[in-house]
């Protein structure tokens, strides 16, 4: 057994090693929690949470006690640097920076994540960006990053997250942490505000259903559809997205029975069997709504071409992913004319809109062209609303952000693509647009003014959340049905 003896000694030392490692890291963490004054102005990574280990609620205490002498307002920005939306990381952060740059801040480098200098100081309280959260479109990572920004780095206000399920998780987190205020980045799941209703979670962008407002009306009244099919990803954001189309198309009199709703799994790469399912009912329907997002859009269209035949733009409409000119590059001119909907209006001639697009390209030359994306625009809206509210209350975050939140709830943004205000659930009421795809990009044909999340009572906290069979198909009153503003006549776009 003597060999065992020596191994035991090894184990001894091993445990010592592990113990030392743990202690070293613990000590590091404790040391990092040192006083904030020592932290350099804008390097976000070097500012840390207060050393005290009391409940996180304490983090707001300094703001209260040092009010008036310019205590910084700590801001964290959460987005995805990995996963399906990782490519838009810099765009998101850049969007959130724009309102601060408009107020005199200067970018520290070519990339938004290089940080900002000379940040604005509403009411004498300089804004301090404590960190950029980097999630991967899973709710778990979003929560971990939220906690790092808030609990470790001491953020009092956070902007984010990016994607649907992350939003639900972060809104739930907000509910458990009444001491922080969170403004949504660009996530669009309906439940986030309609169901969770966290009093400290504000969303200044439309949800996935609102993003399709106008499309059902357009399909019924312009394209003349009576019965339609829908094919959309099998997860919450895509349910919400399809719900927007289904609710509206049915409200104005159309039919989409459950058997016409097809749900391929998220991240599918081969859509041929779903296209075949669609082909079986192709003769019975007048058209199909496509809600398969992101990377799936083009494979789906190609699978449909193989099974059903060349795409007929009169028989296809899609959600925001179907306004991408890449589709015309991939499928050719027969894709020109596909109608889709979005809350973006990049072809607007309004000076506010053109100024926004030009300023963006000038500020972030490496990210030119992204100003019309939901990523840049919605992060910008959130940051703009935050600053307006902070300015209104003079940077006062006392009393659990009470005044700040009240101001935030009342903010009415005169945003580049149209006015944005909040409903009682702190959810955006915003214009929406129906566009027609051309080789040069989408041309906006309809504007649906001031779309609210509840679709005139179709969606409430009590109605079942959108899923494979909800909403059901029934005629309803829709506030905006038949009231769309024509921006460009559809015939004009297709004719020219």
Partner 1 sequence: MAVAARTAESAEPILRLRGVGRRFGGLEAVRDVDLDVRPGERRAILGPNGAGKTTLFNVVAGEFPPTSGTIELFNHDVTFMPARMRVGLGLTRTYQTSRLFLGLSVEDNLYLALVGVEGGHLRPVRLPGRDGTLRSQAREIAERIRLQDQLGAPVRNLSHGEQRQLEVGMALAGEPRLMMLDEPAAGLSRAERVQLTEMLLGLEREITLILIEHDMDVALTVAEYVTMMHDGAVIVEGTPAEIRANQLVHDLYLGRGHYERR
Partner 2 sequence: MIAGARGRSGLAIVFIGLLAASPLFVSDFFLSAILTKTLWLGIVAASLIFLSGYGNMISLAQTGLYGVAGFVLGNVVAADGGLKVAWDPWVGVILGLVVATVVGLVFGAVASRSEGIYFLMLTLAFGILLFYFWGQVTQLSGFGGINSIQAPGIVSKPRTDPDNLFYICLVVSVAVYALIRYIVRTPFGIALQGIRDEPTRMRALGYNVALHRTLAFGLGAFLAGISGILSVWWNTRIDPGSVGLGRTIDVLVIAIIGGIFWIEGGWLGAFVFTAIDTYSRNIDWLGPRFNTLIGVIFLVIVLVSPGGLIGIWESARGLARRRSGAGAGLPPGAPAERSG
Q: How far apart are CA 383 and CA 388, in angstroms?
A: 9
Which does residue 2 bind out of partner 1, partner 2, none, counting CB within 5 to 8 angstroms by kind? partner 1
Query: According to the binding rule CB under 8 A, does residue 194 interact with partner 2?
Result: no
Q: How far is the CB of 364 from partner 1 (least distance, A)?
A: 59
The correct pick among 51, 61, 295, 486 for binding partner 2 (CB under 8 A) is 51
- Whether residue 423 contacts residue 453, with contact meaning beta carbons closer than 8 Å, is answered with yes
* Most distant pair of Cα atoms in the chain: their distance: 92
The correct pick among 129, 172, 316, 417 for binding partner 2 (CB under 8 A) is 172
Query: Of residues 425-444, which lie at the interface with partner 2 (CB under 8 A)?
Result: none
The correct pick among 71, 73, 169, 383 for binding partner 2 (CB under 8 A) is 169
The correct pick among 39, 121, 143, 308 for binding partner 2 (CB under 8 A) is 143
Stretch that binds partner 1, among 1-9, 195-203, 353-361, 429-437 (CB under 8 A): 1-9
Q: How far is the CB of 1 from partner 1 (least distance, A)?
A: 5
Query: According to the binding rule CB under 8 A, does residue 2 interact with partner 1?
Result: yes
HEC readout, the chain: CHHHHHHHHHHHHHHHHHHHHHHHHHHHHHHHCCCHHHCCCCCHHHCCCCCCCCCHHHHHHHHHHCCCCCCCEEEEEEEECCCCCHHHHHHHHHHHHHHHHHCCCEECCCCHHHCEECCCCHHHCCEEEEEEEEECCCHHHHHHHHHHHHHHCCCCEEECCCCHHHHHHHHHHHHHCCCCEEECCCCCCCHHHHCCCCCCEEECCCCCCHHHCCHHHHHHHCCCCCEEEEEECCCHHHHHHHHHHHHHHHHCCCECCHHHEECCCCCCCCCHHHHHHHHHHCCCCCEEEEECCHHHHHHHHHHHHHHCCCCCHHHEEECHHHHCCHHHHHHCHHHCCCEEEECCCCCCCCHHHHHHHHHHHHHCHHHCCCCCCHHHHHHHHHHHHHHHHHHHCCCCCHHHHHHHHHHHHHCCEEECCEEEEECCCCEEEEEEEEEEEECCEEEEEEEEEEECCCCCCCCCCCCCCCCCCCCCCCCCCCCCCCCCEECCCHHHHHHC
Q: How far is the CB of 2 from partner 1 (least distance, A)?
A: 8
Task: Using the minimum distance from each CB to partner 2, give the nearer residue, 59 or 444.
Answer: 59
Q: How far apart are CA 283 and CA 294, in angstroms?
A: 28
Q: How far is the CB of 199 from partner 2 (least distance, A)?
A: 16
Query: According to the binding rule CB under 8 A, does residue 189 interact with partner 2?
Result: yes
Query: According to the binding rule CB under 8 A, does residue 113 interact with partner 2?
Result: yes
Query: Could you tell me how many residues of this chain bind partner 1 (CB under 8 A)?
Result: 4
Query: According to the binding rule CB under 8 A, does residue 4 interact with partner 1?
Result: yes
Which does residue 45 bind out of partner 1, partner 2, none, counting CB within 5 to 8 angstroms by kind? partner 2
Query: According to the binding rule CB under 8 A, does residue 34 interact with partner 2?
Result: no
Query: Of residues 356-375, which lie at the interface with partner 2 (CB under 8 A)?
Result: none
Task: Using the minimum distance from each CB to partner 2, give the nearer residue, 8 or 106.
Answer: 8
Query: According to the binding rule CB under 8 A, does residue 6 interact with partner 1?
Result: no
Task: Using the minimum distance from each CB to partner 1, give the nearer residue, 4 or 283.
Answer: 4
Phi, psi of 180 (to 5 degrees): -110, 160
Which does residue 105 bind out of partner 2, partner 1, none, counting CB within 5 to 8 angstroms by kind? none
Site string for partner 2, 258-287 (x = CB under 8 A): -------xx---------------------
Which does residue 318 bind out of partner 1, partner 2, none, counting CB within 5 to 8 angstroms by kind? none
Stretch that binds partner 2, among 4-12, 300-308, 350-358, 472-480 (CB under 8 A): 4-12
Stretch that binds partner 1, among 2-10, 245-253, 294-302, 347-355 (CB under 8 A): 2-10
Q: How far is the CB of 4 from partner 1 (least distance, A)?
A: 6
Which does residue 489 bind out of partner 2, partner 1, none, counting CB within 5 to 8 angstroms by kind? none
Task: Using the minimum distance from each CB to partner 2, give the nearer residue, 263 or 480.
Answer: 263
Q: Is 183 exposed, middle or buried (0-12, 13-18, 19+ CB in 10 A)?
A: buried
- The pair of structure tokens assigned to 484 is 């769309």
Which does residue 159 bind out of partner 1, partner 2, none, counting CB within 5 to 8 angstroms by kind? none
Stretch that binds partner 2, among 43-51, 210-218, 323-331, 348-356 (CB under 8 A): 43-51
Task: Using the minimum distance from each CB to partner 1, give the nearer residue, 6 or 349.
Answer: 6
Q: Which residues of the shown chain bind partner 1 in the complex (CB under 8 A)? A: 1-4
């Amino acid at each position: 057994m003597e060999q065992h003896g020596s191994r035991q000694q090894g184990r001894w030392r091993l445990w010592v090693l592990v113990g030392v490692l743990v202690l070293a890291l613990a000590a590091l963490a404790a040391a990092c929690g040192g006083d904030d004054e020592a932290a350099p102005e804008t390097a976000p990574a070097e500012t840390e949470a207060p050393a005290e280990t009391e409940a996180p609620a304490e983090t707001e205490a300094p703001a209260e006690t040092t009010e008036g002498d310019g205590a910084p307002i700590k801001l964290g920005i959460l987005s995805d640097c990995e996963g399906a939306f990782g490519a838009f990381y810099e765009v998101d952060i850049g969007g959130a920076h724009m309102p601060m740059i408009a107020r005199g801040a200067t970018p520290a480098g070519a990339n938004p994540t290089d940080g900002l200098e000379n940040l604005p100081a509403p009411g004498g309280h300089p804004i301090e960006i404590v960190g950029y959260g980097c999630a991967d479109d899973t709710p778990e990572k979003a929560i971990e990053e939220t906690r790092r920004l808030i609990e470790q780095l001491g953020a009092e206000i956070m902007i984010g997250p990016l994607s649907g399920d992350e939003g639900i998780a972060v809104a739930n987190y907000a509910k458990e942490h009444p001491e922080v205020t969170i403004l949504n980045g660009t996530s669009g799941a309906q439940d986030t505000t309609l169901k969770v209703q966290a009093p400290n979670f504000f969303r200044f962008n439309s949800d996935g259903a609102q993003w399709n407002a106008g499309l059902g009306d357009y399909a019924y009244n312009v394209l003349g559809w009576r019965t339609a099919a829908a094919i959309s990803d099998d997860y919450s954001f895509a349910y919400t997205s399809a719900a927007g189309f289904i609710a509206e198309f049915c409200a104005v009199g159309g039919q989409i029975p459950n058997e016409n709703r097809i749900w391929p799994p998220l991240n599918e790469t081969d859509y041929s069997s779903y296209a075949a399912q669609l082909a079986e009912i192709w003769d019975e329907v007048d058209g199909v709504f496509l809600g398969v997002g992101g990377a799936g859009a083009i494979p789906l269209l190609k699978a449909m071409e193989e099974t059903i035949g060349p795409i007929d733009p009169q028989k296809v409409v899609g959600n925001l992913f179907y306004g991408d000119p890449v589709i015309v590059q991939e499928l050719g001119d027969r894709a020109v004319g596909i109608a889709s909907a979005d809350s973006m209006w990049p072809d607007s001639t309004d000076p506010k809109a053109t100024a926004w697009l030009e300023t963006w390209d000038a500020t972030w030359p490496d990210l030119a062209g992204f100003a019309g994306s939901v990523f840049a625009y919605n992060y910008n809206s959130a940051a703009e609303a935050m600053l307006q509210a902070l300015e209104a209350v003079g940077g006062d975050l006392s009393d659990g952000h009470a005044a700040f939140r009240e101001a935030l709830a009342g903010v009415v943004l005169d945003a580049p693509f149209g006015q944005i205000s909040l409903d009682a659930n702190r959810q955006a009421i915003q214009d929406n647009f129906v566009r027609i795809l051309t080789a040069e990009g989408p041309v906006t044909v309809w504007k649906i003014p001031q779309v609210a999340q509840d679709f005139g009572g179709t969606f409430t906290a009590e109605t079942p959340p959108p899923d494979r069979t909800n909403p059901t198909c029934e005629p309803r009153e829709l506030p905006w049905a038949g009231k769309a503003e024509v921006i460009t006549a559809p015939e004009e776009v297709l004719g020219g």
